[in-house]
Structures are given as C-alpha cells and as structure tokens.
Amino acid sequence: MEFREINKADDAILAGIIRSNLKANKLDIPGTAYFDDHLDHLSDYYLADRTRRYYFIAVENDEIIGGIGLAELGFFDDCGELQKLYLTDKAKGRGIGYTLIRLIEDKARELGYKKIYLETHSNLAAAIHIYERSGYREIEKPAGVVHATMDRFFIKELNG
C-alpha cells in the first residue's frame, strides 16, 4: 500500500469513488459533496494552497482505493477540516480509514493546525464509528456549515 499526494490524473477516479459511496448511502442529493462544484477537479483545489490544504491518495497494486483531504476551516481558530474520506468497497474493513486519518492528522500538525473538525451524516455509520474510535467528539452543528444535509459534527484537539 502506498499513500501519496493527489494529482490531476486522480480526479476522475476519486470523484467516482466519492459519488459511488454517497449514492450507496442515499446521499446523492443536494447539500452533500456529491454536488460540490470542484468534486471533478479535486487536485486543483488541494494543490492550489499546499500551506493550508492536502489530499492523500491510497494506492494498492497501482489502483486508487481511496483518499482523505484537509483544508483550513474558517469558523474555528487554528482548525483544519477533515474532508472527503472515502474508500472503494474492497478497501473497506481493513483499517485503511484509520491509517488515512492518522496521516491527515500528522499533516494537520505539520501545517500548524491545533484541531480538526469534520462533518458527516447519520447514514454513514461506519465512518462515524471510525471517527469516534479515532478520538473525535461530537459537537453541536456550528454556524457556517456549507453542506446543509450533513447532520453530525465532530472535532478533535491535536496534541504534539
């Protein structure tokens, strides 16, 4: 297994993984990442500001099996947002989500973030399980949430 930074050649594959996951969980609806303007061009977004953003791609046997992003969050001080953690079906249940979270938390510390926020949906029970086991605590919905359909919100203080 290899983990690397996103590049332009990854965009279509990653958008397909994300949309497939959202559709399978009945979240192919407005107010989710499914309809994000930049979903088909994630590399443009994440590579535009490497001082505040990053996206890891997980690759196994030369095949993209998922990824995870980080970007600055404006409504909490010194806070990054964990974004777009999605895996292919064959990658699920193998601990790869936990590895990606650890990688993005390390990158967040490197970029100077003191905490990480994330938003998700109750339909994504496996993801919620991973977040809770990774030390994220649930909070009330913050003002400024962009994805209006999301109904679960978490934050984690980063130490060290």
Using the structure block, give the residue that is written with the tokens 């292919």: 88
Q: Which is nearest to 53 in space by CA: 110, 92, 13, 2?
A: 110
Mean pLDDT, to the nearest integer, of 136-140? 96
Written in H, E and C, the secondary structure of 1-13 is CEEEECCHHHHHH
Which range (79-93, 94-108, 142-156) has the least confidence?
142-156
Token digits for 117? 């926020």
What is the predicted pLDDT for the residue at 32? 87
Beta carbons within 8 Å of 151's beta carbon, 6+ residues apart: 121, 122, 141
Token digits for 66? 């998922």
Q: What angle do CA 114, 94, 109 make, to 5 degrees?
A: 15
CATH class of 2-157: alpha beta
Q: How far apart are CA 32 and CA 25, in angstroms?
A: 12
Q: What is the pLDDT of residues 38-88, one digit of tens each?
A: 899 999 999 999 999 999 999 999 999 999 999 999 889 999 999 999 999
pTM (two decimals): 0.93
